[in-house]
A and B are shown apart, each in its own frame.
Chain A
Amino acid sequence: DGGITQSPKYLFRKEGQNVTLSCEQNLNHDAMYWYRQDPGQGLRLIYYSQIVNDFQKGDIAEGYSVSREKKESFPLTVTSAQKNPTAFYLCASSPIGGANYGYTFGSGTRLTVV
């Protein structure tokens, strides 16, 4: 079945450590997105990418970095510059003109600072 796979499901980060969250899709979607979800908050956009080797900052990009070397993959790195990284991270994808077709989400990665 086509879909979005996020891994790992749970991730623990030590202070000062960089960690990378994986997002892979086999939907042949051009656009991919990373959102952060905190308790009682709506989802907030971190980064998005419309095509390979191109990406843009969202509303809360500070302390995060991404790459888009393949159409299927959009990994997110949470760097040590992100002071409050504990949250639930969701990856999404859509076709170009995604507004016409809606967005598909992965099952999420819960990141905790220890």
Chain B
Amino acid sequence: KQEVTQIPAAPSVPEGENLVLNCSFTDSAIYNLQWFRQDPGKGLTSLLLIQSSQREQTSGRLNASLDKSSGRSTLYIAASQPGDSATYLCAVTGGGADGLTFGKGTHLIIQP
């Protein structure tokens, strides 16, 4: 069964730093990988979707990479801001009908 692992919390960092969040998955036969952001008590906001045939996707200050063969993805946040403070969730799908398998998320705090 697919398992997705994320480091639960990153050390709080001062704003302006470039950050790297990691995600690993046990079964490399994924169809795509999606990164989400969750603010306290809120739903999930999609950040980036990487198809299995792609190596990376970029949106503004965010860049996500995917290495399917090694079962890893990285979310890179450039020039972090206090507004980036949130929990970041990684999820994969095998392309079947049963949706996403999630990691437990990485909680990020950016200090002003």
Interface residues of A (CB under 8 A from B): 6, 31, 33, 35, 40-43, 45, 48, 50, 56, 58, 88, 90, 92, 94, 98-108, 110
With A102-B32, A103-B34, A105-B36 as contacts: A90 and B99 at CB distance below 8 Å: no
Cross-chain contact A48 with B97 (CB below 8 angstroms): yes
With A42-B105, A100-B51 as contacts: A90 and B43 at CB distance below 8 Å: yes
Cross-chain contact A107 with B43 (CB below 8 angstroms): yes
List 29 A–B pairs whose Cβ atoms lie within 8 Å, in order of A's numbering: A33-B99, A35-B99, A40-B104, A41-B104, A42-B89, A42-B104, A43-B100, A43-B102, A45-B100, A48-B98, A48-B99, A58-B98, A58-B99, A88-B41, A90-B43, A94-B99, A99-B31, A99-B32, A99-B93, A100-B51, A102-B49, A103-B46, A103-B91, A104-B46, A105-B45, A107-B42, A107-B43, A108-B43, A110-B41
Cross-chain contact B4 with A100 (CB below 8 angstroms): no
With A102-B32, A108-B42 as contacts: A50 and B97 at CB distance below 8 Å: yes
Chain B minimum-CB-distance residue to A97: B95
Report how far A88 CA is from B36 CA in the complex, Å. Answer: 16
B78: Cβ under 8 A from any A Cβ? no
**List of 10 A-B pairs having minimum Cβ-Cβ separation, nearest first:** A99-B31, A105-B44, A107-B43, A42-B102, A102-B49, A43-B102, A99-B95, A42-B104, A108-B43, A105-B43
Cross-chain contact A45 with B104 (CB below 8 angstroms): no
